[in-house]
Structure 1
Amino acid sequence: MSVEHLDIDIPATVLDDLRDRLRGTRWPDEVTPGSWEQGTDLTWLRGVVERWADGYDWPTVQARLNERDHRMVRVDDRPAVHVVLERAEVEGALPLVLLHGWPSSFVQMLPIAPLLARPSEHGADPADAFDVVVLSLPGYGFSERPAEPGWDVTRIADLVVEVMAELGHERFAARGSDLGAGVLQQLALARPDLLVGLHLSGTNPYLGWVPEDLSDAEREFVAAAQDWNQREMAYAMEHSSKPQTLAYGLNDSPAGLAAWVLEKFRTWSDCGGDLASVYDLDDLLTNLTVYWVTGTIGSSMRLYWETVRSTSAAYGRVEVPTGMAMSGADMFPTPREWVERSYAVAAWTDLPRGGHFLEWEVPELVAADVRTFFRDRRG
Structure 2
Amino acid sequence: MPDAEPRPEPFIQETSPEALEDLRARLRATRWPDSPEDAGWSLGTDLGYLRELVAYWAEDFDWPTQEAALAALPRFRVRLGGLGIHFVHARAVAPAGPVLALVLSHGWPDSFWRYSKVIPLLTDPGGHGADPADAFDVVVPDMPGYGYSDRPLGPPLDSIAVAGLWAELMTVLGYDRFGAAGGDIGSHVSRYLGLDQPDRVVAVHRTDAGVPVFGGDRAELTPEERAYVEGAAAWGAAEGAYGAIHRTKPQTAAVGLNDSPAGLAAWIVEKLRAWSDCGGDVERSFTKDEILTGITLYWLTGTIGSSMRMYRANAAIPHAQLARRVEVPSGFSVFPGDLVRPPRAWLERTTNMVRMTEPARGGHFAAFEEPELYAEELRAFFRPYRTVAAG
TM-score (structure 2 length as normaliser): 0.93
1:83 matched to 2:87: yes
**CA distance, structure 2, for counterparts of residue 36 and residue 208 of structure 1:** 33
**CA distance, structure 1, for counterparts of residue 320 and residue 111 of structure 2:** 23
> What is residue 310 of structure 1 aligned with on the other side?
317
> What is residue 151 of structure 2 aligned with on the other side?
145
> What is residue 21 of structure 2 aligned with on the other side?
16
> What is residue 25 of structure 1 aligned with on the other side?
30
| Counterpart AA for 2:47 | L
> What is residue 212 of structure 1 aligned with on the other side?
219
Q: SS of 2:83's equivalent?
A: coil
Q: Which range is displaced more, 336-345 or 234-243?
A: 336-345
**CA distance, structure 2, for counterparts of residue 203 and residue 310 of structure 1:** 16
| Counterpart AA for 1:167 | L
**CA distance, structure 1, for counterparts of residue 37 and residue 227 of structure 2:** 32
Q: Quick check: 2:167–2:197 contact (8 Å CA) kept in 1?
A: no
> What is residue 157 of structure 1 aligned with on the other side?
163
Q: SS of 1:327's equivalent?
A: coil
* Pairing of 1:1-379 with structure 2 (within 5 A): 1-33=6-38, 35-75=40-80, 77-90=81-94, 93-209=99-215, 211-310=218-317, 314=321, 315-379=323-387
Q: Quick check: 2:30–2:262 contact (8 Å CA) kept in 1?
A: yes
Q: Quick check: 1:33–1:42 contact (8 Å CA) kept in 2?
A: no
| Counterpart AA for 1:249 | G
> What is residue 3 of structure 2 aligned with on the other side?
none
TM-score (structure 1 length as normaliser): 0.96
Instruction: String of CA shifts for 1:165-220, please: whole Å, max 9, x gaps.
Output: 11111211111011011112122111111101111012523445363212121222
| Counterpart AA for 1:60 | T
| Counterpart AA for 1:281 | K
How far is 1:278 from its partner? 1.3
**CA distance, structure 2, for counterparts of residue 170 and residue 35 of structure 1:** 51
| Counterpart AA for 1:377 | Y
Q: 1:68 to 1:19 in 2, by over 3 A?
A: same
How far is 1:34 from its partner? 5.1
**CA distance, structure 2, for counterparts of residue 120 and residue 338 of structure 1:** 36
Unaligned runs of 5+ in 1: none
Identity of aligned residues (%): 46
Q: 1:225 to 1:311 in 2, by over 3 A?
A: closer
Instruction: String of CA shifts for 1:125-177, please: whole Å, max 9, x gaps.
Output: 11110001111111100011111115111111110111111111121111101
Unaligned runs of 5+ in 2: 1-5
**CA distance, structure 2, for counterparts of residue 217 and residue 191 of structure 1:** 31
How far is 1:274 from its partner? 0.3
Q: Quick check: 2:250–2:309 contact (8 Å CA) kept in 1?
A: yes
Q: 1:222 to 1:116 in 2, by over 3 A?
A: same
**CA distance, structure 1, for counterparts of residue 62 and residue 13 of structure 2:** 15
How far is 1:344 from its partner? 0.8
How far is 1:222 from its partner? 2.2
How far is 1:78 from its partner? 2.0
| Counterpart AA for 2:233 | Q
